[in-house]
Amino acid sequence: MTTAVAPARPRQVLADLLPASRVRDIALVAGGAALTGLAAQIAVPVPGSPVPVTGQTFAALLVGTALGAGRGLSSLALYAVLGLAGMPWFSEGTSGATASFGYILGMLLAATVVGTLARRGADRSVVRMAGAMLLGEAIIYAVGVPYLAVVADMTAAQAVAAGLTPFLIGDAVKAVLAMGVLPTAWKFVKREG
């Protein structure tokens, strides 16, 4: 006797609620890159650090979660490639491989991870969303801080002091915002649907 098990269907992310088409996916990827570029312009310089506080990480994690892993990665890759090619949409209107480019590389990975977690329902509750956002932020720092140390010729302690510590409170605020935005969006969609 054999028991057939139906394959688990992955959950939807918010972007999946739009009618499926290649045009939709291209528009979402381009829109996610543009949102990240716009959010990067919300920048507050941090004394003693070559890295400003920006809305960029919030946008990158939001894009990954709302679009899912594949489209989120594509969106952040488009953002990174165009910025490297000279589009002035990295923080404070910069482009190219700056000292903070490691954080952008971390955002590629983080968007993929939070997008995968969103497919598993992490964007549906405040507690699970908190975990996803904290993991995403940790990934961004795990790539960005060592990159900063190498590029800016800093010790590990100097890189942590300049590229991690000053940003923890702001990132906690961003995580709280994301924890409220995405689960609320799902509740709104359920009410409308």
Q: Which amino acid is at 148?
A: L
pLDDT bracket for residue 156 (50, 70, 90): very high
Over its C-alpha atoms, the chain yields an Rg (Å, rounded) of: 18
Name the DSSP class of 114.
Answer: H
Contact 89, 41 (CB under 8 A): yes
How far apart CA 168 and CA 115 sit, in angstroms, is 22
Among residues of the chain, what percentage have pLDDT more than 70?
93
Task: Please report, for residues 39, 61, 96, the alpha-carbon distance to residue 25 in angstroms, rounded to integers and kept in the order given.
Answer: 21, 18, 26
Decide if pLDDT at 159 tops 60. Answer: yes
- The tokens for 66 are 């709302």
Decide if pLDDT at 1 tops 70. Answer: no
Can you give the pLDDT at residue 142? 98
Can you give the pLDDT at residue 33? 98
Treating both helix axes as pointing N-terminal to C-terminal, what angle do 69-84 and 22-40 enclose, rounded to 10 degrees? Answer: 50
How far apart CA 63 and CA 65 sit, in angstroms, is 5
How far apart CA 8 and CA 60 sit, in angstroms, is 28
- Average pLDDT, rounded, for the chain: 90
Contacts of 47 (CB under 8 A, 6+ apart): none
Task: Please report, for residues 10, 88, 100, 152, the alpha-carbon distance to residue 49 in angstroms, rounded to integers and kept in the order given.
Answer: 41, 20, 10, 10
Can you give the pLDDT at residue 7? 45
pTM (predicted TM-score): 0.89
pLDDT bracket for residue 2 (50, 70, 90): low
Of residues 7 and 171, the one with the higher pLDDT is: 171
Residue 153, classed as helix, strand or coil, is: coil
Nearest one of 157, 164, 162, 166 to 139, comparing CA atoms: 164
